[in-house]
Chain A
Amino acid sequence: MISTSLKTEGEVLLYPPTFFPRVITLTNYIQIASEASFPRYLLNSILIVVASTSIAVFTSCIGGYIFAKFRFPGKNLIFILILATTMIPFQTYMVPFYLMMKNLQLIDTYLGIMLPLFVTSFGIFFIRQNSISIPDELIDAARIDGGTEWSIFLNLILRLLTAPISAIAIFTFMFGWKFFIWPLIMTNSPKKFVLELGLTTLANRNAMDYGLQMTGAVFSIIPILLTFFILRKKFVSGITMTGMKG
């Protein structure tokens, strides 16, 4: 994919094909980046994904921690219900959700695009798995020291959970970044297009220009790869904790 994106237009169509570009060209990248609306799409994406990821990470942490460390009536039922929602693909309940959005007048708004990303069952499950191993004594000691539940969560738990939080952050970021179908349905004005939506259109405008289409695809995964490389160590140790204490 990266190889094709670096090829000249002529070479992409060569037959028999070349595996690596003979001449490396950045024309495709320049063409996409110089598209007038490109910065706008990028900004929209960043805004939407960063905001929703932060919220999702927070809801996962507080939810996962509570499910791991507290007892309250209905706990198991709620937890199972939350997990059960992962069994249903989003596409199947998208239309009823859209009608709700319409009644709340949230169509074509940033909030409306972000909303479905505010919670993630995998996140809650993942943080719960990781919180179980936090010793109760540690939390009780903090309580005896006079910490409120909120300050314990904020100052103790979150600090202990940095690795799984990075993993969840990357997962949600990744999911949000490639979340195509909902922004497609929700956005009516090109000004609010996310990158993915804009790139699809852009690639489509150049039928049969596969180099440009591949460039679009590469462009759209760059932010994810960047995040991954920055948070790699944390992410890896976060993932390796999931399988535990099943």
Chain B
Amino acid sequence: MGYSNLQKKKLRFVFFWISIIFLLYLFLRFIPIISTFYLSFFRWDLIRPVKPFVGFNNFIRLLQDENFKIAIWNTSLFAFIVVTFTLLFSLLVALALERKIAGGSVFEIIFFLPIVIPLVPISLTWKWIYDPTNGVLNYLIGLVDIPKQGWLINPRLSLGSIMAMTIWQRIGYNMIIFLVGLREIPAQFYEAAKVDGAGKWQTFISITLPLLIPITLYLTVMNTIEAFRIFTPVYVMTTGAQGAPASAVRVLVMDIYQNAFRYFNLGYASAESLVLFLIILLISLLQFGVFRKRGVLA
């Protein structure tokens, strides 16, 4: 049996628009990305005209590269801590706010502004907050007699300072998504729990938490990808004479950027990008796998 008229119309519509989207993606994303991966097999210097094929040489060098190892470690640590605390804090805030606020505009502005304001001005403002002499933070801790700290300058603190800023910036969005999830849990479930005589904590463990798992998965994957791609705050905060020490906050994209645009070793940077891509892919798949194994995803 051939396609019905309706189905033909549907297919034509789908084929036409999907081809356009696909071609746009092909041209704007797939080809450049694939060429980047292709470059990773060459000693591809941005400036020098001779660009010899080197096989897996770039990848072998990566394994011995201290900067790369530091970057992997810093980025993983960054992602782990930022994702964990962002989710934890935003869930707590969401629980606290669950039924109290109906959506006043003050509330909206407080939680939405960090999402809306781009990272560059946010980072600039935080650089000022963290400023050793003029910064608000040192002023505040000075009030309770804690000595001044070089938040961005001290290598033991700088990565943590950037983490704190990132967590602050992400809480708003994550909290809202959690809040939506909480509100979608049917009231009957809670009533049933009450009838069964479950305590608040028990209700939370056996009803709220399991029902939030799909949302948590979505947020975990999204936040992890974002965290692994961290670049702007690090870039802004390490630039200039008042900036953070580069090695203490070296993250993967920063390292890629430096290899590509400071040292112009594009082939090498491409190899690094490929590794970054594989890491993110692996972690996302793993996260999906873990959640699926627990049987919470249909």
Contacts and interface: CB of A to CB of B under 8 A. Distances in A.
Interface of A: 1, 4, 15-17, 19, 59, 62-63, 66, 70, 72, 78, 81-82, 84-89, 91-97, 100, 115-116, 118-119, 124, 143, 148-150, 170, 174-175, 177-178, 180, 214, 217-218, 220-221, 224-225, 228, 232, 235-236, 239-244, 246
B117 A70 contact: no
Given A96-B39, A224-B117, A243-B215, A66 B14 contact: yes
Contact of B121 (A63, A70, A175, A221): A221
Sorting the interface of chain B by its residue count into under 10, 10 to 19, 20 to 34 or 35 or more gives 35 or more
Given A1-B124, A92-B260, A87 B281 contact: yes
A242 B177 contact: yes
Interface of A is mostly: helix
B136 A178 contact: no
B9 A149 contact: yes
Which of A17, A93, A177 gathers most chain B CB within 10 Å?
A93
B169 to A, nearest CB: 13
A222 to B, nearest CB: 11
Contact of B17 (A62, A88, A220): A62
Contacts of B35: 93, 96
Contacts of B284: 87
B269 A119 contact: no
Contact of B18 (A78, A170, A224): A78
Contacts of B25: 81-82, 85, 119
Interface of B: 6, 9-15, 17-18, 20-22, 24-25, 27-33, 35-36, 39, 46, 103, 105, 108, 112-113, 115-121, 124-125, 128, 133-134, 136, 139, 173, 176-181, 184, 214-215, 217-219, 225, 228-229, 231, 253, 256-257, 260-261, 266, 269-270, 273, 276-277, 280-281, 284
A91 B231 contact: yes
A15 B133 contact: yes
Contacts of B179: 240
A66 B225 contact: no
A87 B29 CA distance: 11
Contact of A224 (B118, B173, B219, B231): B118
Nearest to B107: A236
A62 B19 CA distance: 12
Contacts of A244: 180, 184
B24 A119 contact: yes
Contacts of A100: 27, 31-32
B218 A246 contact: yes
Contacts of B18: 63, 66, 72, 78
A217 B28 contact: no
B36 A96 contact: yes
28 contacts: A1-B128, A62-B17, A78-B18, A81-B30, A82-B25, A87-B280, A89-B231, A89-B256, A92-B256, A92-B269, A95-B36, A97-B32, A119-B29, A148-B9, A217-B120, A217-B121, A217-B124, A224-B116, A236-B108, A239-B112, A239-B115, A239-B173, A240-B176, A240-B179, A240-B180, A243-B178, A246-B214, A246-B215
A96 B35 CA distance: 6
B124 to A, nearest CB: 6
Given A1-B128, A72-B15, A118-B28, A243 B118 contact: no
A92 B257 CA distance: 7
Nearest to A200: B120
A91 B253 contact: yes
Nearest to B11: A72
B24 A70 contact: no
